[in-house]
Amino acid sequence: MDLKDVVREKYADAARRVGTDGAGCCSSACCGSASDPITSNLYDRVETARLPAEAVQASLGCGNPTALAQLAAGEIVLDLGSGGGIDVLLSAARVGPTGKAYGLDMTDEMLALARENQRKARVENVEFLKGEIEHIPLPDHSVDVIISNCVINLSAEKERVFAEAFRVLKPGGRLAVSDVVVRGPVPVEIRRSMELWVGCVAGALDETDYVAKLTQAGFEAVSVEPTRIYTIDDARAFLVGHGLDVDTIAPLVREKFMSAFVRARKPAAV
Ligand SMILES: C[S@@+](CC[C@H](N)C(=O)[O-])C[C@H]1O[C@@H](n2cnc3c(N)ncnc32)[C@H](O)[C@@H]1O
């Protein structure tokens, strides 16, 4: 199995669990539970009260990009790795009937769940597409805003994802994504264990690399804003289970693993 198959299998399994007792339990850290330090309490209850319970239950992100992306009525939004569809449905409400929200996902089970959630939510300005974020099935210059929630860290071809995002955005379009980011050097083995705890199987980018790769792809006004910084205690049980001496490595990971909101803009004239 290559990495993409591993990711697909993991999220197919997570989609199947929605509505069962193990709902949303997708990563080693068992994300999706009320106490999970990564996925819990990301959304305003008033916002989610209007959504189907299964869309909320399937939420596996690490931020709330729709709240930060400043979506406007009439805009076209694309969610990379849309999962059960929570951010697509929230975006559709923000852009209204004159706008549209696309969700893109490679996992059939997630797409089926998202389409069922769309049906339950009774929204029409939404379309879920099957495909990979490295090969976006939309034309050049067709989207106003790209959002994503904890998906880019799962890709082994991050440059390709950024190039595709740049291609499909209209001139002046925005990228506004939540992702796991590493700040500063961490010994390789400890970094890998922390990444596996967060669920970043392909590895999280260092924030300076994130900025450099987006800039390289052509984006401007790139910024990385931490939204949740993880503590060693969040990951303690997992790291101990992996044979690490948590108290010894604590100073090496302090303030280094975080969820962040990454913003960038495609220049207006390209
Ligand atoms: C961590 S979940 C996040 C789902 C959703 N964004 C959320 O906040 O609940 C990752 C999702 O991205 C999808 N995914 C991962 N890698 C992908 C890729 N290369 N292309 C398309 N979808 C991908 C998975 O199938 C899964 O549904």
Pocket of ligand 1, beta carbon within 6 A: 7, 11, 59-61, 81-84, 86-87, 105-107, 110, 132-134, 149-151, 154-155
Q: Could you read off the pLDDT of 154-194 as tens digits, one per residue? A: 999 999 999 999 999 999 999 999 999 999 999 898 988 88
- The reported pLDDT for the residue numbered 21 is 57
- Separation of CA 245 and ligand 1 centre (Å): 32
- Separation of CA 249 and ligand 1 centre (Å): 30
Ligand 1 mutation target, pool 2, 6, 7, most atoms within 8 A of CB: 7
- Separation of CA 176 and ligand 1 centre (Å): 16
- Separation of CA 189 and ligand 1 centre (Å): 25
Q: Please give the single-letter amino acid code of residue 108.
A: D
Q: Could you read off the pLDDT of 60-77 as tens digits, one per residue? A: 999 999 999 999 999 999
Taking the CA of residue 133 as reference, the ligand 1 atom at the shortest distance is 20
Ligand 1 mutation target, pool 56, 154, 227, 259, most atoms within 8 A of CB: 154
pLDDT-derived band of residue 129, with 50, 70 and 90 as boundaries?
very high
- The reported pLDDT for the residue numbered 200 is 81
d(CA 258, CA 180): 6
Using the predicted structure, report yes or no on whether residue 143 has a pLDDT greater than 90: yes
Q: Give pTM, 2 decimals.
A: 0.93
Mean pLDDT of the chain: 91
Q: Is the dihedral of CA 23, 132, 116, 150 positive or negative?
A: positive
d(CA 134, CA 154): 11
Using the predicted structure, report yes or no on whether residue 1 has a pLDDT greater than 80: no
Taking the CA of residue 79 as reference, the ligand 1 atom at the shortest distance is 6
The gap from C-alpha 184 to its chain's centroid, in whole angstroms, comes to 21
Residues 97-118: what's their mean pLDDT?
A: 98
Burial of 158 (0-12, 13-18, 19+ CB in 10 A): buried
212-90-111-148 Cα dihedral, nearest 10 degrees: 10
Neighbours of 19 (CB within 10 A): 12
pLDDT-derived band of residue 34, with 50, 70 and 90 as boundaries?
low
- The reported pLDDT for the residue numbered 24 is 46
- The reported pLDDT for the residue numbered 35 is 64
The angle subtended at Cα 10 by Cα 128 and Cα 125, nearest 5°, is 10
- The reported pLDDT for the residue numbered 30 is 36
